[in-house]
């Protein structure tokens, strides 16, 4: 596909990197010559220097021939204009980043209709949703959902002394009497799709899939369930803090926000009267201790400086705060956080780029693709994909034990009439099913791609 990316900040670069890895034909647009030089030297993309809201710039970027444009500048209005102009010039699909809190769901719906937008994205809102999902199940480092919440994928670190350490995967169902599937394991920097003979070790990070009730039952039986986070401290204000706090308050949690900027603290205080908002420097140990950090169920470090977020998270973990989540702005810092033992790291621009990779693959339906949902898991080293199944003699009606899957591919679940099946060798895939596949090192466009 031919894709134009307008605005090459953190989000734009993350999207550009993901789309380039997907093999798409990319044109990057940015008003900064230095930024254009950087992205064209780093990735095999064409660069156009100028404003995405300038029709001449869009013409140079070949908007009339583009399959998709992603507008991710800092200005919502520039993004809207660029999408509108590109759409009128012939771009087939327009994706617009809209971040301003003044744009409600209703107004966004109106803008999508009137401007012909295919999709609007809000990195802060999307990241807040992921943070909320993790806080609902604090034992998990990451949670993804499939098939309208009928199936969950949960990533769990196995700490020293874990009940699961030393267990062979083929033994788990008999021992714990739950229908869960360990579908991926990260050991060190390597991610493997394991078979039944695989033996778990302390220090592993495992991904399990099952219906939500079964996952909860399994986590209780292996002794890693923590209570839902009720008292939550958020360090760093801004839009993401607003979206997260709003969700937490609505779910009955108590929220305390520490914001360094005085005006930002006042805005949050006005917008979230049920929250406790503190004007102070959350990167200072004294401030955190005064506000009772050690008594919190969870801490979310989401300031604007990655290094401070990491240090605050390490402090909270050292004080025994049960759940610590760290927001990272620069992707390479996520590796630093991981090596320092921080288990839950969220990078907003990566969440957006994953969503757009999913969207781009879904647009290729005319070429046989039927991807409905796509998540990067295990720190981006594997993918979890949900496919809508169409008739295909290579995969439908064939017992799974007779299907020769490619290496590092696992069929994690079949969803049939809202019933989730953890598949065995005698199960078959039928047209109309939804199928969840875990893949490491394979880029899947179609369900038939799983067969060797």
Q: What is the mean pLDDT of residues 140-165?
A: 87
Contact 67, 3 (CB under 8 A): yes
Q: If pLDDT is split at 50, 70 and 90, which confidence band does 366 have?
A: very low
The average pLDDT across 172-195 equals 90
Per DSSP, what are the bridge partners of residue 25?
A: 2
- Give the mean pLDDT of 300-324: 95
How far is it, in rounded angstroms, from Cα 313 to Cα 311?
Answer: 5
CATH number of 2-121: 3.40.50.720
**Range(s) for CATH 3.40.50.720 in the chain?**
2-121, 231-321
Tell me the per-residue pLDDT of 396-433, one tens digit each, with 9 for 90 and over.
999 999 998 898 999 999 999 888 888 888 999 999 89
Q: Is the pLDDT of residue 370 over 80?
A: no
pTM: 0.82
Q: Which CATH superfamily is domain 356-450 in?
A: Regulator of K+ conductance, C-terminal domain (3.30.70.1450)
Radius of gyration of the chain from Cα atoms? 23
- 263 class by beta-carbon count within 10 Å (0-12 exposed, 13-18 middle, 19+ buried): exposed
Q: Give CATH 3.30.70.1450 domain extents, the chain.
A: 128-221, 356-450
Tens digit of pLDDT for each residue in 24-66? 999 999 999 999 999 999 999 999 999 999 999 999 999 999 9
What's residue 365's pLDDT? 55
From the list 23, 119, 49, the residue with the least C-alpha distance to 3 is 23
What are the beta bridge partners of residue 2? 25
The dihedral through the CA atoms of 17, 359, 140, 254 has a sign that is: positive
> What architecture (CATH level 2) is domain 128-221?
2-Layer Sandwich (3.30)
User: In CATH terms, is domain 231-321 a member of 1.25.40.320?
Assistant: no
End-to-end, the C-alpha distance of the chain in Å comes to 25
Mean pLDDT score of the chain? 90
Q: Which tens digit of pLDDT belongs to each residue from 121-146?
A: 898 999 999 899 889 888 888 888 88
Tell me the percentage of the chain whose pLDDT exceeds 90.
Answer: 56
Residue 148 confidence (pLDDT) above 80: no
d(CA 315, CA 6): 39
* Bridge partner list, 130: none
Condensed to tens digits (0 to 9), the pLDDT of residues 258-296 reads 999 999 999 999 999 999 999 999 999 999 999 999 999
pLDDT score recorded for residue 27: 97
Tokens for 55, please give them: 């029709």
Q: Residue 367 pLDDT > 60, yes or no?
A: no
3-class state of residue 323 by DSSP: strand
Q: In what order do the strands lie in the sheet with 68-71?
A: 46-49, 25-30, 2-6, 68-71, 93-97, 119-121
């Amino acid at each position: 596909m031919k894709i134009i990316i307008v605005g090459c900040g953190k989000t734009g670069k993350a999207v550009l990197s993901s789309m380039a890895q997907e093999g798409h034909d990319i044109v990057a647009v940015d008003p900064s010559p230095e930024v254009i030089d950087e992205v064209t030297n780093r990735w095999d993309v064409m660069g156009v220097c100028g404003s995405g809201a300038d029709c001449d710039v869009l013409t140079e970027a070949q908007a009339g021939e583009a399959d998709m444009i992603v507008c991710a500048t800092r200005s919502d209005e520039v993004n809207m204009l660029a999408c509108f102009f590109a759409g009128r010039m012939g771009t087939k699909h327009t994706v617009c980043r809209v971040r301003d809190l003044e744009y409600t769901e209703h107004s966004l719906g109106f803008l999508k209709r009137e401007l012909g937008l295919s999709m609007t994205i809000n990195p802060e809102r999307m990241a807040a949703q992921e943070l909320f999902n993790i806080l609902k199940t604090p034992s998990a480092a990451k949670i993804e959902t499939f098939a309208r919440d009928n199936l969950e994928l949960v990533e769990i670190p196995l700490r020293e002394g874990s009940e699961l350490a030393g267990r062979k995967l083929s033994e788990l169902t008999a021992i714990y009497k739950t229908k869960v599937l360990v579908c991926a394991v990260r050991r060190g920097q390597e991610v493997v799709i394991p078979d039944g003979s695989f033996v778990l070790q302390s220090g592993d990070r495992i991904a399990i899939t099952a219906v939500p009730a079964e996952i909860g039952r399994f986590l209780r039986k292996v002794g890693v369930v923590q209570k839902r986070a009720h008292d939550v401290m958020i360090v760093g204000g801004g839009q993401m803090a607003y979206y997260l706090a709003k969700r937490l308050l609505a779910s009955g949690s108590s929220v305390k926000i520490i914001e360094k900027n005085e005006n930002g603290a006042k805005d949050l205080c006005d917008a979230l009267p049920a929250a406790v908002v503190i004007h102070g420097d959350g990167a200072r140990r004294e401030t955190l201790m005064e506000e009772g950090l050690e008594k919190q169920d969870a801490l979310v470090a989401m300031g604007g400086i990655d290094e401070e977020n990491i240090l605050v998270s390490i402090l909270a973990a050292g004080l025994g705060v049960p759940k610590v989540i760290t927001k990272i702005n620069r992707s390479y810092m996520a590796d630093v956080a991981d090596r320092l033992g921080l288990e839950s790291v969220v990078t907003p621009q990566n969440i957006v780029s994953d969503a757009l990779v999913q969207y781009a693959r879904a647009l290729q339906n005319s070429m046989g693709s039927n991807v409905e949902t796509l998540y990067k898991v295990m720190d981006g080293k594997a993918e979890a994909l949900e496919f809508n199944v169409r008739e295909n003699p290579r995969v439908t009606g064939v017992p799974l034990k007779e299907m020769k899957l490619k290496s590092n591919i696992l069929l994690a679940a079949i969803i049939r009439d809202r019933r989730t099946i953890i598949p065995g060798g005698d199960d078959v895939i039928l047209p109309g099913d939804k199928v969840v596949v875990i893949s490491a090192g394979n880029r899947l466009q179609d369900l038939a791609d799983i067969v060797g």
